[in-house]
Amino acid sequence: MPVEVKGGQDVRSFVRTLVKEQGSEKAELIPILHEINRELGYISDEAIQELSDRMHIPTSHIFSVATFYRMLSTEPRGRHVIQFCESAPCHVAGGRQVWQSLQKELGLENGETSADEKWTLITTSCLGVCGIGPVVIIDHDIYGNVTPEQVPELLKNYD
């Protein structure tokens, strides 16, 4: 399925433009993957193929990098990505109950995307906002001091 990106470009010409702008040095690989992930929501096979042609890096290497880092995804994700911090500071502050509430409310397990492609639920390591744990991040919005009861309310803000 062809995915349309910025300005009606197809994925391949989008990747070509990126490489032209940022250069084809290997050090640019991760910044470019970041851009692709931001634009497409994930890094598609087509994007990896094009990147490999343009940067002269084997697809296997690009795939291994894209799957190594948590912020990059090689699978399509839902319209809204919910990240739940599962590190110790949030855990101690009552995070476990919030996590259970999230799973129940969405009917999703860790790493799953809902059938209507609305939600993706993932756990993440510390996000550096531990002063207000437990922390839930939906897309780019950070919610702190979350209680299990608040979870349905939070989810209502997104459509």
Residues of this chain that bind other proteins (CB under 8 A): 25-31, 33-34, 57, 61, 64-65, 68-72, 86-89, 91-93, 124-131, 133, 140
CA 91, CA 149: separation in Å to the nearest integer?
A: 17
Minimum distance from residue 147 beta carbon to other proteins (Å): 16
Q: Which is nearer to other proteins, 72 or 138 (CB)?
A: 72
Minimum distance from residue 88 beta carbon to other proteins (Å): 5
The H or E element that residue 152 is part of is helix 151-156
Q: Which is nearer to other proteins, 9 or 52 (CB)?
A: 52
Lay out the sheet containing 141-143: strands in order across: 119-124, 80-85, 136-138, 141-143
HSE-up (13 A, CA, CB side) for residue 33: 27
Minimum distance from residue 112 beta carbon to other proteins (Å): 16
Q: Which is nearer to other proteins, 100 or 115 (CB)?
A: 100
Minimum distance from residue 93 beta carbon to other proteins (Å): 7
Please give the single-letter amino acid code of residue 66.
Answer: A
Q: Which is nearer to other proteins, 10 or 127 (CB)?
A: 127
Inter-residue contact 151 to 103 (CB < 8 Å): no
